Structure 1
Amino acid sequence: MEFRHLVSFVMLADELHFGRAAKRLHVAQPSLTAQMQKLERFLGVQLLVRNAHEVKLTAAGMELKQQAETILAQVDRAVRLTKDAADGKSGSVAVGYNYLAGRKVLPDLLSRMNADLPDVSVSLWERRTGPQIAAVRAGSLDLAMTYGYPQAPEMQYRRLVSDIPIVGVIGHRHPWAARDEVSFAELAGQQCVLFARDQSPQMYDAIFAAARVHKIVLDVARTADDPGGTAQLVATLPMVGFASGPRADSYTAHGPSDPIAVRLVDPTPTLDLYAVWRKDNGNPALAALVDRLPEV
């Protein structure tokens, strides 16, 4: 059975007149008659009853009309969705993000995507920089929102937010608990909680660059790759952890188990937030999302 025979049959079933149906289909009437005969032979049933005055559908013809209309609607939808996917108007895109991106970038970005491209599905994955970049390289993420970007020719990036301060995170029993800020030089002699460099290279390097300004060696007594783990450790041990300013702002120091943020100055280490994606990623939905990203 040919697809065009279904199209012709539905048109004829609507018109119940060979001449009018043939005109709408832009075919000769004998050609339309031949198509209907081929369709009936293929199905082995009579679809139409025709005399000199009228054309009627048989019970089989009425059933085929209903089924054929469903098929044609599905084909039209498939064509539309295929074209939309090629244009980035439908499909899916996987996005990684960190805390700052979740607060400052994603709300507006997702609103714009939903308003402009409601058929594009955006899936989200919150992780630190290192795991996000690894996922972009592996292809499980289309785009990452990270502190810094990899110096790699296969990557593209866009800066989204600049000069994000890094702060110290301490517990209520720490000697700095009543202070608003401390000089970075005062970290000399303090035990610190830090993460592995591959978790967030730019943040790690910014902290150690600030230490080199004062020629101090940080005493990394504990490691915690999860920000929540850092908060738990400093809340119970007399140590200093590190967090981005926006992350630290989320801490609410109501009780002894809640961490406290203290500004680091002279110098204040800072971060930049970037969107990062692979140059060879051909996902049209990614291109549509990138077009709607903010830029510093």
Structure 2
Amino acid sequence: MELRHLISFLAIADELHFGRAAARLHLAQPSLSQHLQRLERSVGVELVSRNSHEVRLTPAGEAFREVGQDIVIRVQRAREAAVSAAAGRTGTIRVGYNFPAGQRVLPGTLARFNARHPGIGLDMVSMRTGPQLDALARGRLDVAMVYGRPAAAGMRSRLLLRVPLVAVVGLEHHWAGREDAAFVELAGEECILFRRTQSAAMYDAIFAAARASGIELNVAEEVDDPGATAIVAAVKPVVGFASAVRGRFGAAGRGGPRTTSVRLYAPVPILDLNAVWNADHRPLVGALLDCLPAPDPLQT
């Protein structure tokens, strides 16, 4: 059964006149008749009865018409879906993000994106930089919002924010209540850090600040999960590190461990938050990139 033969039958069923049906389809009437004959041979029953006075559908033709209309509609929808997907108007984009991106970038981006592209879905997951870049390289993410710029070939990036790092301590820590601390003061403190694979840019920024201050950090514990880091900092006399955005969130005490943030200076560790994607990305990824904001000044 060919789709063009089905379309010809449906035109005949609508018009009940071969001349009008042929004109509607821009076909010669003999060609239309051939389409109907081939369709009837394919189906195995007579669908249209005609004589010199009238054209009508047989009972088999009436039943076939209802199902045939549904087939043509589904084929048209399938074509439209394919064209839309190729043009970046439907489908799902998988987005990774970290805490500052979730707080400062995604709300406005998603509002613009949903207004412009209501047919495209978003699958979002919160992860540190290292796992995001790994997922992006493996094709499990389409866009990553991470600290630093990727070194891997074939990846592109765009600056979103510049974010300072702060010290995070529990409310019983002797730094609690201070507004700021020189980085060199960390020489006398036990620190809690994470493995470099979790966020190389953040890890390197912390140790670069330590070298610039002429000190070595005393890393007492390594905890990869940011939430677990806050828990440990809340109950132990250690100093953790976080973006200024996350540091304020912990200080607000929104149902999580109570910590407070202390600004660091001389130097201030600064991180660049970037959107990262593969150069050979799917067409619909461009729809999200177009909705990203222009780079913001330093976010504190």
TM-score range, shorter chain: over 0.9
Q: Distance in 2 between matches of 1:136 and 1:71?
A: 39
User: How many angstroms does 1:51 deviate by?
Assistant: 2.0
Whole-angstrom distance in 2 between the partners of 1:80 and 1:241: 52
Deviations 1:155-201 (A, max 9, x none): 11000112x11001101111111211111111111000001111111
**Cα contact 1:158–1:295 (8 A) shared by 2:** no
Aligned match of 2:27: 27
- Whole-Å Cα distance in 1 between the matches of residues 238 and 42 of structure 2? 82
What amino acid is aligned across from residue 228 of structure 2 in structure 1?
Answer: G
- Cα distance, 1:257 vs structure 2: 4.8
2:116: which partner in 1?
Answer: 116
**Aligned counterparts of 1:62 and 1:54: Cα–Cα separation in 2:** 16
* Contact kept in structure 1, 2:165 and 2:243, CA below 8 Å: yes
| Cα separation, 2, equivalents of 1:77 and 1:255 | 47
> How many residue pairs are counted as aligned between the two chains?
294
Give, as a single letter, the amino acid of the residue that structure 1 aligns with 2:135: A
Q: Which runs of 4+ in 1 moved over 2 A?
A: 252-257
Q: TM-score, normalised by structure 1?
A: 0.95
Structure 2 residue 205 is the aligned partner of structure 1 residue 206: yes
Per-residue deviation, 1:152: 2.6
Corresponding residue number in structure 1 for 2:243? 244
Quick one: which amino acid aligns to residue 141 of structure 1?
L
Match of 2:83 in 1: 83
1-side partners of 2:132 and 2:228: how far apart?
Answer: 19
Q: Secondary structure at the match of 1:46?
A: coil
Once the two structures are TM-superposed, the CA of residue 124 in structure 1 deviates from its matched residue by 0.7
Distance 1:78 1:17 in 2: 30
The CA distance in 2 between the partners of 1:16 and 1:256, in whole Å, is 72
Q: Which moved more, 1:270-279 or 1:248-257?
A: 248-257
CA distance in 2, matches of 1:139, 1:168: 35
Q: How far apart, in 1, do the equivalents of 2:256 and 2:160 lie?
A: 35
Contact 2:213 2:266 in 1 (8 A): no
What pairs up with 1:55-134 in 2 under 5 angstroms? 55-134=55-134
* Within-5 A mapping of 1:171-210: 171-210=170-209
Q: Secondary structure at the match of 2:156?
A: strand
| Deviation per residue, 1:244-275 (Å, 9 max, x gap) | 00111111248995111111122211111101
CA distance in 2, matches of 1:85, 1:245: 39
Secondary structure of the residue aligned to 1:229 is: helix
Residue 203 of structure 1 deviates from its aligned partner by 1.0
Q: Secondary structure at the match of 1:34?
A: helix
2:50 maps to a residue whose letter is: R
8 A contact 2:160–2:274 mirrored in 1: yes
- What SS does structure 2 have at the residue aligned with 1:173? coil
Identity across matched positions, percent: 50
Contact 1:171/1:256, CA 8 A, preserved across alignment? no
Secondary structure (helix, strand or coil) at the match of 1:150 reads: coil
**What one-letter code is carried by the residue in structure 1 that aligns with 2:7?**
V
SS for the counterpart of 1:156 is strand
Tell whether the 8 Å contact from 1:195 to 1:223 is kept in structure 2 after alignment. Answer: yes
Moved more, 112-121 or 65-74: 112-121
After the TM superposition, which of the residue ranges 48-57 and 245-254 deviates more from structure 2? 245-254
* Structure 2 match to 1:260: 260
Change (3 A) 1:100 1:255: closer
The two structures have a TM-score, normalised by structure 2, of 0.94
CA distance in 2 between partners of 1:244 and 1:142 (Å): 24
The AA in structure 2 aligned to 1:213 is A
Q: Secondary structure at the match of 1:260?
A: strand
CA drift of 1:295 comes to 3.0
Mapped to 2, the partners of 1:274 and 1:7 lie a distance apart of 51
Partner residue of 1:9?
9
CA 1:126 to 1:255, structure 2 compared with 1: closer, same or farther past 3 Å? closer
- Contact 2:248 2:260 (C-alpha < 8 Å) held by counterparts: no
Retained in 2: the 8 A contact 1:190–1:240?
Answer: yes
Gaps of at least 5 residues in structure 1 are: none
For the 8 Å contact 2:165–2:271, the answer to whether it is kept is yes
Task: State the Cα deviation string for residues 116-166 of structure 1 (Å, max 9, x = none).
Answer: 11221211111000000111111111110001122233211000112x110
Which residue identity is paired with 1:150? Answer: P
Deviations 1:178-236 (A, max 9, x none): 21111111111100000111111111111111111220111000111111111111111
